[in-house]
Amino acid sequence: MSKQPTITLIESLFIQSREYLENRVDLYKMKVADKTASIASTVVAGIALFLVFFIFFIVLNIGLGLLIGDLVGRASWGFLILAGIYAIVGLVLYSSRNKIFKTPITAMIFRKFL
């Protein structure tokens, strides 16, 4: 008689353990889905903002090139001067790319996942 309750208790323990494991797997799936949705929405918002600011930046640069060209007397010189300024800015950004871009972006990705 004592074997029957013991088997029932062991079976109950296995059933509860399996249910617990299934719940943990479901919870993990939900956490991954939440993180993925968060990252995807951040990327989509970033792309949309990038496109708007890119168009703004292009139009602004055309205006600046024409303005500088009017000040120096030739429109082509205005665009060349502006291109030179951007070349200098590009070299500065390239030389400090790890400090400006790599480290903060890596930290942001780790914060999102953790």
Q: What is the pLDDT of residue 4?
A: 60
Q: What is the pLDDT of residue 54?
A: 97
On the CB side of 54, CA atoms within 13 Å amount to 6
Mean pLDDT by 10 residues, the chain (114 residues): 67 89 94 88 93 97 95 94 95 88 82 71
Cα separations (Å) of 51 from 11, 41, 57, 61, 110? 60, 15, 10, 15, 26
Q: What is the pLDDT of residue 13?
A: 87
Tens of pLDDT, residue by residue over 22-55, are 999 999 999 998 988 888 898 899 999 999 999 9
For the chain, how many residues are written?
114
